[in-house]
Amino acid sequence: MIYITRREHFNAAHRMYREEWSAEKNVEVFGKCANPNWHGHNYNLFVTVKGEISYETGYLIDLKDLKKIINERVIEKLDHSNLNMDVDFMKGKMASTEILCIEIFNQLKGPIEAYEGVFLHSVKLAETENNSAEYFGN
Catalytic residue ranges: 33, 80, 127
DSSP characters over 61-118: S-HHHHHHHHIIIIIHHHTTEETTTT-GGGTTS---HHHHHHHHHHHHHHHHHTSTTE
The answer to whether 9 is annotated as binding is no
The answer to whether 121 is annotated as binding is no
The answer to whether 14 is annotated as binding is yes
- Give the residue numbers of the binding site for Zn(2+): 14, 39, 41
Sequence ranges of the binding site: 14, 39, 41
